[in-house]
A and B are shown apart, each in its own frame.
Chain A
Amino acid sequence: MKDINITKEMLKPLSDDKKDLEQVVFKSMPYWHEVWHRLIKNKLALLGIITIVLLFLIAIFVPFLVDYDYSDDNLDRVNIPPVMEILEDSEGNKYFINKDYRVYAIENGRISKQLQVKKEDFMKSLTYYGENMNIIMDYSNKENIKYLDKQGNELVEAGKIWNKDNILGTDIFGRDLFIRLVYGARISLLVAVVATIVNLFIGTIYGGISGYIGGRLDNLMMRLVDIIHTIPLTLYVILIMVVVGAGINSIIIALSSVYWVGMARLVRGQVMSIKQQEFVMAAMTMGTRKKDILMKHLLPNSIGPIIVSMTMLIPKAIFVEAFLSYIGLGVPRPMASWGTLSNDAVQTLNMYPYQLIAPAIAISVTMFAFNFLGDGLRDAIDPRLRK
């Protein structure tokens, strides 16, 4: 411990303007202000918020900035990967040869054209013709396929270049994967947000009424919830889709009509514990109408857990949408959602794995972001729950 030299100066009484030094003053903050402060102090939650905002911005604005869209196909550029391995001939011309044995000429780091095949002696070799740049694919030896230029020299590897025209590559119809991913984000986020808001309304009101009124009605309403819970989700969703027809609308209706069950249970539990508290009793004594007690006292006081479970519902909805699209019940083609993109990519996984990587990362990053935000909100709203 440090020695402190106590001088006479220090023992003098304080002047009047310094007398409030001992008072501990905190700026008093409104509740949500405080929650927000605690939330952005949590680094992971902040990262989640930034990611979510970015995702929404990209999904909303990028389609306006790009002059092609998700359905523009280009059959001359199918299955081009984002990173191309380049070959060079003895004259310095560069080529990219895809896994489907299509040959493209590269100029200035971009694909300039596809070289056409002329069928000639195709028992042993194929010749690709461009203007003054012919390439011969010699497969007389099956194990070792050679590419030769005009002079008969073998092409040499000349490094890798980024695909500047399609930064995430193209799919089996030559559609740009980046823009499809962005449109997919629109669909996935739209479905998630709408379904979550609908769930919030139905679940809160159903659970609120059930918990507040209690007794027989509560029992009846909760048994109904139990039964809805036992019916397999897939059955539900598929039957609704049969009635409404496949598409975004039916996914939203299906999700909204199933997932409020969890929200209803949560709100009921909250309301049941809050309605025992004194302030509710006071409101009842003063003759407040039942509707007002529910809407003005009980529900606003259970908002914390409701918001937390809402942020958890969003990734769940994105997941279910991806899952439904994945099993072929999602948005109609040529529209793309992250689920349909993954599903399409699985078909060609063997040859073009890059097509799966982008949607898989998009889904995972979104799930991460919402999970972090949800965890952060839970801790910020109720610090006792921090684990």
Chain B
Amino acid sequence: MAKYIFKRLISIILTLFILATITFFMMHSVPGGPFDTEKKLPPELEEAMLEKYDLDLPVYQQYFNYMKDLLKLDLGPSFKNQGEMVNEMIISRFPVSARVGIMAIIMLIVIGIPMGLITGFNSGSIIDRVVIAISTFGIVVPSFVLATILLYIFSVKLQIFPFYGIQDSKGFILPAISLAGFSVAYFAKLTRSSVLDVMSQDYIITADAKGLKKSTIIFKHVLKNAMIPVITVLGPAIASLLTGTFVIEKIFGLPGIGKYFVEGIANRDYGVIMGITLFYAVILSIMILIVDLLYAVIDPRIDVKE
């Protein structure tokens, strides 16, 4: 097991290295730079800026410098926000996105998956139909529409929640619901169809035929097998919920990492783009690794060493 994890970590590092290389050159091949603003800087000032951030060096030289710093886990400075380090920015902004994300993940696990299980075990019932209708709605309504509708009802009309920003912890609730809407609905549907699939398998019919109690069948046989496809999708979903989305952060005025990233790209802030792309990739890779390890726990037939 330890050997397997070690091997996986090596391959994650390799992927990150290739990703960093591709992103670096892609980013630099796009015209424009961090100091091309609408108002042209005086040429001497621009030169000084370029020199300060080593942007006057040839691209491959910059690449080697960046990679050297990256080995020390230093993501370098932000080019746009003077004097700020990308590491510090991520540390200060990630908790905001993560807090909303964790609330959404909790909703997903506490509402989405159980709803899928309940409807899967009672397919055709009234609850089943209601949940299917609601989850179809959740899947097709875009998050920004959901967010603005929630904002209008709860902040403008009822004035229960703040309209903008996060002065208190109440400000996190509406963003979390808007963010979770799609995932909760999606996981309810996925879990339901997975349960139905397992329930129609021969071994469940056998277990039923030999007179096992219904609770034993559900807990020993159905749940474990039905969770495999759910967990496969859950890993990447958790990664994307955690790292925040630009739209939600923009609508609700949260100083999160998603907003920072899009602004960084728009400003051609090379440090920010590289830093957050790598940060996303690290979280995604770790989640996928965890999922693969969980497989082995749930289903011993899956050999992780393969």
Which residues of A are interface residues toward B (Cβ below 8 A)? 226-227, 230-232, 234-235, 238-239, 242-243, 315, 319, 322-323, 326-327, 342, 345-346, 349-350, 353, 356, 360, 363-364, 367-368, 371, 387
Contacts and interface: CB of A to CB of B under 8 A. Distances in A.
A231 B19 contact: yes
The 8 closest A-B pairs by CB, nearest first: A367-B140, A387-B193, A360-B145, A238-B265, A368-B140, A364-B141, A239-B30, A230-B281
A360 B266 CA distance: 27
18 contacts: A227-B15, A231-B19, A231-B277, A234-B261, A234-B262, A235-B273, A238-B266, A239-B27, A239-B265, A242-B31, A243-B31, A346-B148, A346-B251, A350-B156, A356-B148, A360-B141, A360-B148, A364-B142
B18 interface: yes
Interface string B232-268: 0000000000000011001100000000011001101
Interface centre among B18, B142, B149, by most A CB within 10 Å? B142
Contacts of A232: 261, 276-277, 280
Contacts of A346: 144, 148, 251
A7 B281 CA distance: 82
B246 A368 contact: no
B26 interface: yes
Majority secondary structure of chain B interface residues (helix, strand, loop or mixed): helix
B136 interface: yes
Nearest to A387: B193
B277 A235 contact: yes
A171 B15 CA distance: 49
Contacts of B152: 349, 353, 356
A153 B147 CA distance: 44
Nearest to A364: B141
- A contact patch SS: helix
Nearest to B19: A230
Contacts of B276: 232
Contacts of B87: none
A214 to B, nearest CB: 18
Contacts of A227: 15, 18-19, 22
Interface string B9-31: 00000010011001100110011
Contacts of A230: 15, 19, 280-281, 284
B217 interface: no
Nearest to A234: B262
Given A342-B148, A368-B136, A238 B15 contact: no
A184 to B, nearest CB: 14
B140 A323 contact: no
B177 interface: no
A379 to B, nearest CB: 12
Given A227-B19, A239-B27, A360 B149 contact: yes
Contacts of B266: 238
Given A232-B277, A242-B32, A371-B139, A326 B144 contact: yes
B246 A327 contact: yes
Contacts of A371: 136, 139-140
Interface of B: 15, 18-19, 22-23, 26-27, 30-32, 136, 139-142, 144-145, 148-149, 151-152, 156, 192-193, 196-197, 246-247, 250-251, 261-262, 265-266, 268, 273, 276-277, 280-281, 284
A229 to B, nearest CB: 9
Contact of B247 (A226, A323, A387): A323
B140 A231 contact: no
A351 to B, nearest CB: 10
Nearest to B194: A387
Given A227-B15, A242-B31, A243-B30, A327 B247 contact: yes
B265 A367 contact: no
Nearest to B141: A364
Contacts of A326: 144, 247
Contacts of A350: 156
A366 to B, nearest CB: 9
A169 B176 CA distance: 32
A326 B156 CA distance: 21
A370 to B, nearest CB: 9
Given A227-B15, A239-B265, A387-B193, A364 B23 contact: no
Nearest to B264: A235
A227 B277 CA distance: 12
A231 B148 contact: no
A235 B144 contact: no
B193 A342 contact: no
Contacts of B27: 239
A383 to B, nearest CB: 14
A65 B156 CA distance: 38
Nearest to A353: B152
Contact of A231 (B22, B196, B247, B261): B22
A345 B147 CA distance: 13
B189 to A, nearest CB: 9
A327 B144 CA distance: 10
B23 A231 contact: yes
B181 to A, nearest CB: 12
A235 B140 CA distance: 24
Contacts of B251: 346
